[in-house]
Amino acid sequence: MSRVLVIGGSGHIGTYLIPSLVEQGHEVLSVSRGQAKRYSENQAAWDRVQQVVIDRVAEEAHGTFGRRIAELEPDIVVDLISFDLSSTQALVDALRGEVEHFLHCSSIWVHGHLESVPATEDAVLNPFGDYGIKKAQTDRWLLRQARLEQFPATVFRPGHIVGPGWLPISPYGNVDAEVFTLMAAGKPIKLPNFGAETLHHVHASDVAGFILQAILNRSASIGEAFNVVSEGAVSLRGYAEAMYRWFGHEPNVELLSFDEWRKTQSDAQAHHAWEHISRSHSFSIGKARRRVEYRPRYTSLEAIKESVAAAIARGDIHSP
């Protein structure tokens, strides 16, 4: 088996990925600042993980992060927390000729607006907003390095990540516990526009599952980008109606124009919603199915319901 180093191992994806890597027999190193609390526990597996405390931001400021990672002598590196091109370039330059596989966590936001749905990986990228543009720049550069320089990179693009431990993007298109509390009580909610915009969630354990499959199918994944989402996106209205029924109520939804709807939200919440519904993402996982046998366990709604149930248990969402 391989020596696998995961950067950002204590976060959403790492909390599922790292125990699975251990159980498959890999030697695993988890690199983080050591501050995050894991969302789920498999203590027997975590006890076998080498925890490496490195502050990436501080090390990058000194130009030493890539060297620190290379000195740990990994065979495989999974980078879950790179957010701009220069960060990835410095790391890749330190790892050239030193690793067998480099897996980079990107985002569906590299796509921006879509020409057709469900979108495939070969769709033209139309990113907008700082986050999406930076992620797209990194994707393009990494894939070019794989083609022209034989750097063993795989790019994967998760959707809206959900799972126990944090709230899902809601039918409002933002992170709002109150909308779930209202639906749990059967009270009316207001949605923007026609409620036809879409969100594409994915359970964190399914993202981890993709990474495991990409490592197992290394030759089929290197040099490629993959959408990593659930089987299908959900519309805002369909999402809300399904949640009402899950709570045992008939749907009680009113539709408003976005300009009217935003008055019901704080400025920050309205902007967060606009960021999601203006993109209205919906993606195909056909390529990931064919090349690495990716099989997500959760539909969008199944993943959302598990997250909401955990939030109710924590007291973040109130349900009669």
pLDDT for residue 175: 96
Amino acid identity at 159: G
203, containing H or E segment: strand 201-203
Tens place of pLDDT per residue across the chain (320 aa): 899 999 999 899 999 999 999 999 999 999 998 755 555 567 889 899 999 999 999 999 999 999 999 999 999 999 999 999 999 999 999 999 999 999 999 999 999 999 999 999 999 999 999 999 999 999 999 999 999 999 999 999 999 999 998 899 999 999 999 999 999 999 999 999 999 999 999 999 999 999 999 999 999 999 999 999 999 999 999 999 999 999 999 999 999 999 999 999 999 999 999 999 999 999 999 999 999 999 999 999 999 999 999 999 999 999 98
CB-side exposure of 23: number of CA atoms within 13 Å? 11
pTM listed for this prediction: 0.96
SS3 label, residue 217: coil
Closest CA relative to residue 193, chosen from 117, 276, 126: 276
